[in-house]
């Protein structure tokens, strides 16, 4: 049990990143791309996601080590592997897990064929864990302080956040004119569980002393906020499943958010897009509990007093100096803010060679190349990723996007996305880090996404 807890702490001590959806972003043949930019140039008469199957997405990343490094079945002692991982990572290495499941989604076009306003809405569930490698804590657990006299252990190495929530959203995007599409999406968050400990500081050091053998000081300012757990700590008599369902459907800790986005065509074949996703907060006003560990202690050991007598109790002294307090107060967390932007150049006439007698003579490009920038707020410094991509349309029903991404997890992340529409059924599958599929266990990050929708295409002519 303790091992499980230790391992959990170890993993949580890495943080979760990798919410970059570089393949989905601006991949406008799937309506889900609206979730990465509410101002995407997505056109439909109406669409509906197949419930629970319209958007399944997982994203894991670990910048400092891979699953293979820790769990390879190669005869090397696990403890040796663990040491190698701990000593080869830095405190800024991170672990991130993100999972999203769309429960339902849909959208329709407003007004008649000449109008250019679209509505989309839905609900999805999301789990998000982000943790930095708690390197100094890991060193202390592995070695203790004896081999590291003189080292100042940084208690700020513990930086982690984790959340499970459901999101209800309603968005609208409008073709303002031929060149510009603007979009916005309002969100209501219902947080099921939250753990956040992102502003810790403090230090611990041991050096040779003069009046005592060592000079040993611990100074700690640590805080862990939690919500959604307190009911389960003792004497819980309810039903966890129905509890979670209730919290998912607006019974949890609530918050509000906003997505903003745009698409702009300075020329017909040049496209610029940008979006800000999850400008929002969650107010934790129910089932909250915080744990603080604050204080300063200089460890001098027993100090007998032969004259006055003295009853210094080391355990008590320490606990008084740095008490572990359980606090009850409301707190607010900000959602990780994501910024996306892209610039794209299109070429190649994709129209059928035969004359289009319906008068639908809009130019459809076969090929596009572009670059994307992604940034996400994180506890220490924003996470960034740069992507170059190539998009190609094969027939009307198949679109492909190939990406090459550089970020802190990998410098050679190749991804591929396919979206195909057969009849009214749209199916998309996106995966990245394809080079790592030679040996998945050695990958530093992987993301995978797929879904089914039913789409009635936009008509830009009267019936």
Partner 1 sequence: MKKKIGIVFLCIFSLSCSSDLDFNQVNDLKLEPVVVTNLATFDVQAHQFVDGGVEQTVSGDLMDFDVFKESFFDENLTRADFFFEYNNTINRGFRINIFFVDANNAAIYTIPFNIPAYSGTQNLVTKTEIFQNVKLDLLKKTSKVAFVVTLLPGPALSENSLGSLKLRSSATLYFVVE
Using CB under 8 A as the criterion, which residues of the chain lie in contact with partner 1 when the complex forms?
2-4, 6-7, 67-68, 70-74, 77-79, 81-82, 140-147, 149, 206, 209, 211-214, 216, 299-307, 309-316, 394-395, 397-398, 400, 416, 418, 420, 429, 431, 434, 437-442
Q: Could you tell me the two tokens for 157?
A: 């190495």
- DSSP designation for 105: E
Q: Whose Cβ is closer to partner 1: residue 86's or residue 378's?
A: 86
Q: Whose Cβ is closer to partner 1: residue 4's or residue 326's?
A: 4
| Number of neighbours of residue 276 by Cβ within 10 angstroms | 16
Q: Whose Cβ is closer to partner 1: residue 191's or residue 216's?
A: 216
User: What's the min distance (Å) between Cβ of 51 and partner 1?
Assistant: 25
Q: What is the largest CA-CA distance in the chain?
A: 109
What Rg value do the Cα atoms of the chain yield, rounded? 27
Q: Whose Cβ is closer to partner 1: residue 89's or residue 273's?
A: 89
CA–CA separation, 64 vs 356, rounded Å? 55
Report the half-sphere exposure of 110 (CA within 13 A, side-chain side): 10
Say which residue the tokens 């009635």 belong to: 456
Q: Whose Cβ is closer to partner 1: residue 48's or residue 138's?
A: 138
Q: Whose Cβ is closer to partner 1: residue 3's or residue 267's?
A: 3
Q: In Å, what is the CA distance from 136 to each residue of 8, 78, 191, 202, 205?
A: 16, 20, 31, 12, 11
User: What's the min distance (Å) between Cβ of 86 and partner 1?
Assistant: 11
User: What's the min distance (Å) between Cβ of 342 and partner 1?
Assistant: 23
Q: Whose Cβ is closer to partner 1: residue 207's or residue 327's?
A: 207
User: What's the min distance (Å) between Cβ of 430 and partner 1?
Assistant: 11
Closest of 195, 222, 227, 275 to residue 16, by C-alpha: 195
Q: Could you tell me the two tokens for 164?
A: 């499970």
Q: In Å, what is the CA distance from 217 to each residue of 202, 296, 301, 322, 324?
A: 10, 7, 12, 12, 17
Q: Whose Cβ is closer to partner 1: residue 347's or residue 437's?
A: 437
- DSSP designation for 287: S
Using an 8 Å Cβ cutoff, are 19 and 277 in contact? no
User: What's the min distance (Å) between Cβ of 45 and partner 1?
Assistant: 24
CA–CA separation, 342 vs 347, rounded Å? 17
User: What's the min distance (Å) between Cβ of 299 and partner 1?
Assistant: 5
User: What's the min distance (Å) between Cβ of 398 and partner 1?
Assistant: 5
**C-alpha angle 261/263/266, rounded to 5°?**
145
User: What's the min distance (Å) between Cβ of 214 and partner 1?
Assistant: 5
């Amino acid at each position: 049990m303790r091992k499980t807890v230790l391992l959990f702490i170890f993993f949580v001590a890495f943080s979760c990143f990798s919410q970059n959806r570089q393949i989905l972003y601006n991949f406008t043949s799937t309506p889900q791309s609206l979730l990465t930019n509410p101002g995407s140039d997505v056109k439909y008469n109406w669409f509906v996601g197949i419930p629970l199957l319209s958007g399944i997405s997982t994203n894991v990343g670990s910048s400092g080590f891979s699953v293979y490094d820790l769990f390879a079945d190669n005869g090397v002692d696990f403890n040796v592997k663990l040491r190698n991982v701990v000593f080869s990572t830095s405190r800024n290495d991170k672990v991130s897990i993100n999972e999203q499941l769309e429960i339902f989604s849909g959208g329709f076009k407003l007004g008649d064929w000449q109008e250019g306003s679209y509505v989309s809405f839905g609900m999805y569930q999301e789990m998000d864990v982000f943790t930095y490698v708690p390197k100094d804590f890991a060193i202390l657990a592995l070695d203790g302080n004896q081999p590291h006299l003189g080292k100042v252990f940084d208690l700020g190495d513990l930086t982690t956040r984790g959340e499970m929530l459901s999101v209800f959203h309603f968005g609208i995007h409008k073709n303002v004119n031929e060149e510009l599409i603007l979009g916005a999406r309002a969100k209501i968050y219902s947080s099921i569980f939250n753990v956040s400990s992102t502003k810790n500081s403090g230090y611990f050091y041991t050096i040779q002393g003069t009046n005592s053998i060592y000079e040993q000081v611990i100074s700690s300012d640590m805080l862990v906020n939690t919500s959604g757990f307190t009911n389960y700590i003792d004497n819980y008599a309810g039903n966890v499943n129905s509890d979670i369902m209730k919290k998912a459907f607006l019974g949890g800790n609530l918050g509000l958010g906003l997505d903003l986005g745009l698409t702009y065509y300075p020329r017909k074949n040049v496209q610029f897009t940008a979006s800000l996703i999850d400008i929002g907060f969650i107010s934790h006003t129910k089932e909250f509990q915080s744990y603080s560990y604050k204080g300063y202690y200089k460890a001098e050991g027993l100090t007998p007093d032969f004259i006055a007598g003295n009853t210094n109790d080391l355990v008590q002294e320490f606990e008084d100096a740095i008490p572990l307090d359980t606090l009850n107060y409301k707190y607010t967390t900000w959602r990780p803010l994501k910024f996306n932007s892209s610039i794209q150049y299109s070429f190649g006439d994709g129209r059928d060679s035969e004359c289009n007698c319906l008068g639908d003579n809009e130019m459809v490009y076969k090929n596009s190349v572009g670059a994307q920038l992604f940034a996400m707020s994180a506890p220490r410094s924003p996470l960034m990723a740069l992507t170059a991509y190539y998009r190609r349309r094969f027939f009307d029903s198949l679109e492909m996007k190939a990406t090459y991404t550089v970020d802190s997890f990998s410098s050679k992340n190749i991804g591929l996305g396919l979206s195909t529409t057969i009849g009214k059924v749209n199916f998309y599958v996106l995966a990245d880090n394809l080079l790592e599929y030679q040996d998945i266990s050695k990958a530093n990050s992987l993301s995978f996404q797929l879904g089914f929708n039913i789409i009635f295409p936009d008509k830009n002519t009267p019936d």
